[in-house]
Chain A
Amino acid sequence: MTETVNLVKSLADKYGRYHESLLPILQGVVQEEKYLSEEAMVEVARELDISAARVFGTASFYSFLNTKPMGEYVIRVCKTITCMMHGKNIIIQELEKNLKIRVGETSHDGKFTLLETNCLGQCHKGPAMLINDTPYTDLTLEKIRDIIQSLKKGDLVGSISNPLN
């Protein structure tokens, strides 16, 4: 069995094999593999005994359930109104310069994917972005350079802006 098949099976064991388990299982696959491959979706369909079209239909509806390969770090920059007012475009430009990719692209080493997304619920601290699940807020050009540099070096994410503190 391939890794993906094993992963889907363990997720189905954990969340159950009900309709209600579909989203948690798909989220679990994305967590591990960064995206939903055809193999994964077909396997999920088999485990839950539903059609693969149904799995794809659900997966393709949700913006966080990627059906295309993604980088190790998925960067989602908020493009909704207040982040836009507070300089989202300059932040994007700096990210593109530092990562040498454009919005919608993945770096050649598979490390970074740069995306725009809708409101992250950090409007009072805009501009804001998510890197994987961690929010980064009150972004400045210096912060962007620091964050990207530390990620390129392989440092842990999460120390720069932890909204819980």
Chain B
Amino acid sequence: MEFGTSGMLNEDGIHVDMDRLKKGEVNLGTSIMAINFKDGVILGADSRTTTGAYIANRVTDKLTQVHDTIWCCRSGSAADTQAVADMVHQNLGMYGIMNGRPPTTQTAAALFQELCYENKDRLSAGLIIAGWDERHGGQVYSIPLGGSLHKQSYAIGGSGSTYIYGYCDANWKEGMDEEAAVNFVKGALQEAIKWDGSSGGVIRMVVLTKKGANRHLYLPDTQYAVRHE
């Protein structure tokens, strides 16, 4: 399947991440991110799933748990990324049982990468892996389309991310406290939702620390101002 590598929007305003979709395939035309902060990591995502210009799901959960404190953000084909996440989920579960210790974020990233790399010509999956463990603290890995693996202090992905490279670069600070970190993620995703037609709906977050996983939800009708309980 042909697809451009220009990183530009093509004539129908669809980002390259979508060019690889099969006809009628459901796309997570998405804004996703994960960041490191003082006590761990935060994952964030919008909630829009589209088929072309139609919103197939307006309250999607793109934050997927693959182990107790290892999660991932999914972008690209919903089917592909769900299949990959399910396989890693199963594998990590086995790892924890067989080795008597929880897998590390590295383990998860390695498994994700192998699947994405070895099946690169069949998949359209842009993933961000974020996890917390006692030894390594919070870690963020990005696996873009070709299946390369990048360790980052924060990662952004999906079609909406192209609009927020500037925002994130300008506002990023290492070692933020939880409140500042949540606001950073929220601010970035708000901009992405604002400018990217393929992103929208609610903002979901997962905060991963030694206390475990903690979900946040922010709604558009309150300008994402208050955390929905």
Q: Are both chains from one complex?
A: no
CB within 8 Å of A: which residues of B?
none
Chain A residues engaging chain B, CB cutoff 8 angstroms: none
